[in-house]
């Protein structure tokens, strides 16, 4: 269902999800027809379905919990504590009802199982109807607040990349391809990882050929 709610952002096909949601009533009809034929195993099947439901609830409660990224010793969760507490109360309540009805000599586990399945089917159908409404997607909401100002691009050239870029501009006459851009040659952001890059950073020139010391002396002398 989370996929269905965000189908506009994912750009995916929701037809397989609708097929699975439509199969839910068929599963209920199959179980209703099969339970009378199971005899003494009806209680076992009902308990199994309830256990699966409890597992799903437990996963929903504890799924936001994450281990520490480095050592795994710290537990963290982005979910609000109130939401987790509400889910935990639901889990405890369902577990308590399951234990209470299972201890009684009656067919309450079967009735409870079908009630849970029916409630789940209703929630799925309501979710589909609600999600099918025309809600603005994230892209539409973002486009509604886009400014009319022109885009500003900041291209960060590390280490010798500035040197090679200058060499490319000087040898290929490609300045017109970068009309509107400002190149800051002597910027501290051009990390001085190598000796040529240090000289390029200090002099604003680029070493292309010949002896490096001659080029450095010439650049230093102006």
**Is residue 57 one of the residues assigned to a domain?**
yes
Identify the domain containing residue 169 by its residue range: 161-220
User: 180 or 5: which carries more pLDDT confidence?
Assistant: 180
Q: Is 207 contained in some domain?
A: yes
DSSP secondary structure of 103-163:
HSSSSHHHHHHHHHHHHHHHHHHHHHHHHTS----HHHHHHHT--SSPP-------TTHHH
In a domain, 155, yes or no: no
- Tell me: the pLDDT tens digits for 24-57? 778 777 877 777 777 777 777 777 777 777 777 6
Determine what percent of the chain is predicted with pLDDT higher than 90: 0
Higher per-residue pLDDT: 164 or 2:
164
Question: Do residue 103 and residue 205 come from a single domain?
Answer: no
Residue 119 has phi, psi (to 5 degrees) of -65, -40
Q: Which pLDDT belongs to residue 150?
A: 67
Q: Which of 30-39, 56-65, 180-189, 200-209 has the highest mean pLDDT?
A: 30-39
Residue 88 confidence (pLDDT)? 76
177 in a structural domain: yes
In this prediction, residue 29 carries a pLDDT of 78
Domain co-membership, 128 together with 171: no
Indicate if 76 and 181 belong to the same structural domain. no
Residue 131, CA distances (Å) to 25, 101, 136, 151, 216 in order? 20, 35, 11, 35, 68
Residue 66 is predicted with a pLDDT of 61
pLDDT at residue number 36: 74
Looking at the structure, tell me whether residues 112 and 197 fall in a common domain: no
**pLDDT score recorded for residue 201:** 62
Q: Is residue 149 part of a domain?
A: no
């Amino acid at each position: 269902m989370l996929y269905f709610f965000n189908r506009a952002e994912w750009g995916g096909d929701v037809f397989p999800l609708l097929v699975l949601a439509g199969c839910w009533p068929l599963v209920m009809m199959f179980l209703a027809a099969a339970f009378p034929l199971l005899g003494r195993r009806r209680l076992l099947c009902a308990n199994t379905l309830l256990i699966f439901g409890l597992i799903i609830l437990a996963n929903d409660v504890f799924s936001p919990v994450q281990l520490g990224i480095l050592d795994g010793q710290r537990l963290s969760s982005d979910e609000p504590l109130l939401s987790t507490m509400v889910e935990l109360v639901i889990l405890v309540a369902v577990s308590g009802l399951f234990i209470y009805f299972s201890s009684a000599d009656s067919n309450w586990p079967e009735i409870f199982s079908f009630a849970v399945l029916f409630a789940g089917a209703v929630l799925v159908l309501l979710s589909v109807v609600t999600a099918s409404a025309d809600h603005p997607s994230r892209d539409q909401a973002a486009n509604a607040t886009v400014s009319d100002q022109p885009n500003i691009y900041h291209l960060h050239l590390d280490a010798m990349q500035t040197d090679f870029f200058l060499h490319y501009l000087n040898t290929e006459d490609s300045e017109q391809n970068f009309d509107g851009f400002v190149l800051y040659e002597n910027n501290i952001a051009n990390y001085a990882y190598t000796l040529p890059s240090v000289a390029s950073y200090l002099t604003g020139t680029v070493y292309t050929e010949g002896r490096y010391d001659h080029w450095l002396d010439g650049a230093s002398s102006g």
